[in-house]
Amino acid sequence: MKKYIYGTTELGEILFNCLKECNIEIDGFTVDKEYITDNFLMSYPVVPYDELKSSAENGEEIGIYVCIGYKAMNENRRRAFKRIKADGMKIESFIHPSAIVKSDSIGEGCLIFEQAYIGPYTTIGDGNIFFPKSMLSHHSNAGNFNFFSVGCSVAGNVKIGDNCFLGNNSTTKDAVNIGSYTLLGAGCYASCDTNEYDVIVPARGQILENKRSIDFI
Ligand SMILES: CC(C)(COP(=O)(O)OP(=O)(O)OC[C@H]1O[C@@H](n2cnc3c(N)ncnc32)[C@H](O)[C@@H]1OP(=O)(O)O)[C@@H](O)C(=O)NCCC(=O)NCCS
């Protein structure tokens, strides 16, 4: 089976780096023709998506890693995922060998990067991305197409809907419900249930006027 990374942004490059490290071969990258700016990325061909679609229609087996990030609250990734499936291609998943994944069930097309931790008795839907050192603790459930940024920490018994974004180092209290399309800003503490499309942010750090680092340490 031929395998391609869908997406030529930094996320595609990050996955490429991991796949290479794990000796997982790909045949190239793919995006819609109008987004192709270069015919090669990382010395691999960038193939117009329609060409792969035609090959699939002609019976060729093609696997796709969906490498679309969190823009539009992960909606672009969800759309790409549905389209690729409808076009008869296989959605690939990736779990880095250093990740600890004890989940009861994981959906299709999840990308789980270095040292992510997914605890026991958890369930994970489709198209979720777990960046390095993100954590989803025991008995928690995540729906589909969520993005867990670097170092975010979700406690036990949490229910996360779909298309959420959990910013880096955000912390989610145990046993809360995080509504779909919730945005947890970097470094915030989500201590209560959220409704759909809610945004939680932390107090902002501030630059001290008329002070310099060497005044302190
Ligand atoms: C929450 C977040 C999305 C806000 O984005 P931003 O670019 O900082 O937003 P802006 O500075 O343009 O602020 C937009 C509005 O939200 C308000 N706001 C943003 N962060 C705030 C905070 N911490 N406290 C109070 N108000 C805040 C601003 O005051 C502004 O209000 P206004 O439109 O009335 O002027 C951003 O801080 C964040 O956490 N991003 C995620 C980063 C991350 O985790 N990346 C990981 C990728 S792997």
Measured from the Cα of 152, ligand 1's closest atom is 44
206 lines ligand 1 (CB under 6 A): no
Show Cβ contacts of residue 181 under 8 Å, excluding neighbours closer than 6 positions.
73, 161, 162, 163, 164, 196, 197
User: Identity (one letter) of the amino acid at 50?
Assistant: D
Domains in the chain: how many in total?
Answer: 2
Residue 6 shares a structural domain with residue 100: no
206 in a domain, yes or no?
no
Residue 204's pLDDT is: 95
Residue 72 shares a structural domain with residue 132: no
- Whole-number mean pLDDT of the chain? 98
Residue 66 shares a structural domain with residue 156: no
Residue 190's pLDDT is: 98
Return the exposure string of 80-94: e unless at least 16 CB atoms fall within 10 Å of the residue's CB, then b.
bbeebbebebebbbb
Residue 131 shares a structural domain with residue 51: no
71 lines ligand 1 (CB under 6 A): no
In this prediction the pTM is 0.97
Domain of 45, CATH number, reads 3.40.50.20
DSSP symbol at 194: B
User: Which residues partner with 154 through β-bridges?
Assistant: 136, 172
User: Which residues partner with 95 through β-bridges?
Assistant: 112
Q: Provide the residue range defining the domain that includes 165.
A: 94-199
Distance 212 CA to ligand 1 centre (A): 25
Q: Give the SS3 label for residue 43.
A: coil
Domain of 188, CATH number, reads 2.160.10.10
Pairing of strands 165-166, 177-178: unpaired
Question: Is 139 assigned a catalytic role?
Answer: no
Take atom 19 of ligand 1 and give the residue whose Cα is closest.
Answer: 201
- In this predicted model, what pLDDT tens digit does every residue of 156-188 receive, in sequence order? 999 999 999 999 999 999 999 999 999 999 999
3 — pLDDT class (breaks 50, 70, 90): very high
179 in a domain, yes or no?
yes
- In this predicted model, what pLDDT tens digit does every residue of 108-118 receive, in sequence order? 999 999 999 99
Distance 169 CA to ligand 1 centre (A): 15
